[in-house]
């Protein structure tokens, strides 16, 4: 997972924001920790955004955005785990 992300990010063939979103989603789907994956995802996203040159964390809190859209966030994550990509909107 990490090697594929780094290769994609380094080649710059894909928009960095899409690569970061895909990497974070993969992290959540792999579920590497027994507890705390949901708390680690915003930190991971913020780290990757900073590495890509985005300073979004200086202006907004990713944790608050996720909290405000929690239902949609976890719905998307659940559909990803189930292998579906259909939106419920």
- Rounded mean pLDDT, 7-13: 73
Q: Which of 21-30, 56-65, 71-80 has the highest mean pLDDT?
A: 21-30
Please say whether the dihedral angle defined by the alpha carbons of residues 38, 46, 51 and 78, taken in this order, is positive or negative: positive
Token couple for 30:
């792999």
pLDDT digits (tens, 9 = 90+) for 47-59: 999 988 988 777 7
The pLDDT-based confidence of 89 (bands split at 50, 70, 90) is very low
The residue with tokens 């027994």 is 34
pLDDT digits (tens, 9 = 90+) for 65-79: 777 887 887 787 777
């Amino acid at each position: 997972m990490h090697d594929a992300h780094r290769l994609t990010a380094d080649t710059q063939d894909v928009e960095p924001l899409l690569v970061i979103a895909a990497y974070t989603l993969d992290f959540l789907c792999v579920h590497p920790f027994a507890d705390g994956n949901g708390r680690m995802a915003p930190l991971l996203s913020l780290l990757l955004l900073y590495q890509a040159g985005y300073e979004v964390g200086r202006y907004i809190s990713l944790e608050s955005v996720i909290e405000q859209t929690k239902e949609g966030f976890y719905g998307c994550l659940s559909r990803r785990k189930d292998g579906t990509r259909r939106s419920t909107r």
